[in-house]
Structures are given as structure tokens and as C-alpha cells.
Amino acid sequence: MSAYDGNLAEAELAGRLYQQIAWRSPNPCSGVKFLGLPAKPAKDTTADATRGSPMVTLSTARDAFHLTQAAASIHDKRALLDGDLGDRLDLTIYVSCYNERDYIIDTLKTIRTAMGAFPFAYEIVVIDDASKDDSAVLVERYVRENPNDRVVFRKNILNKGWAQNYIDAAFIGKGKYYRAICGDNPLTVEAIREVFRPMGQADIIVPYYVDAEGKDLFRRVVSRTYTALINLISGNRLHYYNGSPIHRRYNVMRWHTSTRGFGFQADILCLLLAQGASFIEVPTTTLETREGASNALTWKNLLSVAHTLVDILLRRISIRIHGRIDARLGHEHGAHGLSEDSTVSEDSAVQRR
């Protein structure tokens, strides 16, 4: 992998059609060095699908674009195939914030420490959803005191809900990949790194928790029941749906939720898997920092989840009747990653629905 100094304009002239953009510096939030990362050739291989033996079963089939000369002067054909939105960064991290006075700054610091282990460029989009405490004041202060970090902070006048803010942050962001992290600091530095290590090796990186410290037995049972129900309705076999997967930002932007609750994560996952997206499941851990009842178990969120279950069921029925609509981007395994020397974890498997 070659590296050379230069700014973004020079990088584009050097061959943006066949490279991904990444930045490296002592502080990943203020990069000044460009790394050219050529795509790997397409692979079509199959290995043992058991846990610990990576499986790759991918198709190189893709939609076709044909451009007139006039259209080609303003459109990049490869960017159209790849769903490139003019991404300036590798990653956008959305941090949700609602009454997180005791946790939000620690969340930002944890993310910054975790991302220091990676060479790629990232930004953080924080959305305060009309908090009733002084969370917004604390984030505003953090923005002032850390001018070299790429942090975008939006303060909502009205509460819009987790799902709507998740979509909005995707439109605000400039990263190729996208992940949400809750503002109550539920992840350790290592847990964050575990999920980001295979980023770029599949369309979706799906975390699932093998240990959820502080989560009581009732909530564990509810969580497992919810996962089993989604798998039954969708026909999938995922370990977990609410772990905030890493998506292509393009895929999040072309989908829109009709609910406000936490069920939207399962909805978008099932939609993309039904369209043939590849995925890697990554075992990790989480920490329950809040005390008291969970916001996820309110009657409003339960109604939202019921709505999501109906949507997933109707989608599966539609696929049975009309067949699958394969809306995949033009990704080959390895061609949408960030580094040629990255490898699939022994604890994960790349799979195509």
C-alpha cells in the first residue's frame, strides 16, 4: 500500500476512480496525510461456514450505467456503481443525546480514544434531542475546547425521536461508512475497536453482545425473545438486531423510517439483507450505565416495535409473491474495504443473503 502527501484535490487527480480516501495523523480527527488504497480484485470463494472459518459467498453482478458524453462530464460512473455520495471521510459516527449530562462527554472521549488505533478519517455527529438537562451546554463546551476534532453538533428545538435523528445524522455526515453510538457511554474502548476492525470487509458489520454487564435477567429475556421473533418473521439467523451496525451511509440515506422507536434498526437490517447485502457478525460486549427502568420498554417504543414487526412480515410476504429486488451496490469482497492488508476476524464470517 503506497502513501504520499497531498491534499484532497491532488488525490482526486491521482486516481479517485480506483481508490478510497483515508487520512492519517497523530490525531485522526485532524488528518493531513493521504493514503491511496487501491481496490482488491473480486473474489468468489466458499469455505466452511462454521464459526471460526470465514465464509465468502459473494456475487460480482451489479446494475449497469450508460452515460452520454454530456452526462459523463458531471457524473462519475464508478461512483454511481459504488453509491459514492462524494464522501470526504471514511466514517461518520452518530452520537445520540437525550438527557445524557452524566455520560455524553465521557462518550465522546471514549470514541476519540478508541478511534486513535485506526488510520482512517472519521467525524462525530452529535444530535441533542431537546434534552431537559444541560447536556447541550456540555457538548457546546466540548466543541469549543476541541477545535481540531471533527464534531458536528445539532441541538433540536423539538424532540424528534431516535430513528429520525439517526437518518438526519446520515445526511449531515460525509463518511462512506456510518455507525450510531448511544450517548450514555455504553461501550468500552476495546468494544468499539472490535466492531470497527472489520469495517469495509462487508456491506454491514453486525455487532452482537456476548456479555451485557448491568443488564438484568428480565431485559435479557426480552432481548432474546425479540431477536428470535425477528428471525422467525424475516427468515434471518442473526444473533442480535439492536447493536448499532456499521452500514454504508448511502444505504441508510436511501431508507427512511415510519416509526420513532428502536425497532428501526431491525427494519433496515432486514431490508438490506433481503436485497442481498453481505454482512459480518462480530461478538462484543456492552455496559449498562443507566440505573432504573429502560427507555426501550416504554409503551410508545413497544407500539413502534409492533409496527416494525408488521413491516418486516409484509416485506417477506411481498418477496415470496414478487421475488427479491436485488438493490445491492457494485461491491466485490475486498473492493469496498479500507486497507489491502485487513483480514476477516477468525470469530466472524462474511455472508451474503
Instruction: Give pLDDT tens digits along the chain (353 positions).
Output: 433 333 334 333 333 322 332 222 333 333 322 222 333 333 333 333 333 333 333 334 567 888 899 998 998 888 888 888 889 999 999 999 999 999 999 999 999 999 999 999 999 999 999 999 999 999 999 999 999 999 999 999 999 988 899 999 999 999 999 999 999 999 999 999 999 999 999 999 999 998 877 778 888 898 899 999 999 999 999 999 999 999 999 999 987 767 666 788 999 999 999 888 999 999 998 887 666 555 556 777 778 788 888 888 988 888 888 876 655 554 443 434 453 333 334 444 556 55
How big is the chain by its Cα radius of gyration, in Å?
Answer: 20
Q: Is residue 41 in a domain?
A: no
Amino acid 319: pLDDT: 83
Classify residue 298: in a domain, yes or no: yes
pLDDT confidence of residue 321: 86
The reply to whether 132 falls in a domain is yes
Q: Please report where in the chains the cell 427507555 appears, as a residue.
A: 295
Predicted confidence at residue 28, as pLDDT, reads 31
Domain count for the chain: 1
Q: What is the CATH number of the domain that holds 256?
A: 3.90.550.10
CA distance 311 to 258: 10
Using CA atoms, how far apart are residues 108 and 153, in angstroms rounded to an integer?
12
Residue 290's domain spans which residues?
89-322
Whether 314 is covered by a domain: the verdict is yes
Whether 179 is in a domain gets the answer yes
Q: Residue 274: helix, strand or coil by DSSP? A: helix
The answer to whether residue 270 is domain-embedded is yes
| Structural domain contains residue 5 | no
Sign of the torsion angle spanned by Cα atoms 274, 275, 278, 279: negative
What is the residue whose three cell numbers read 466514517?
91
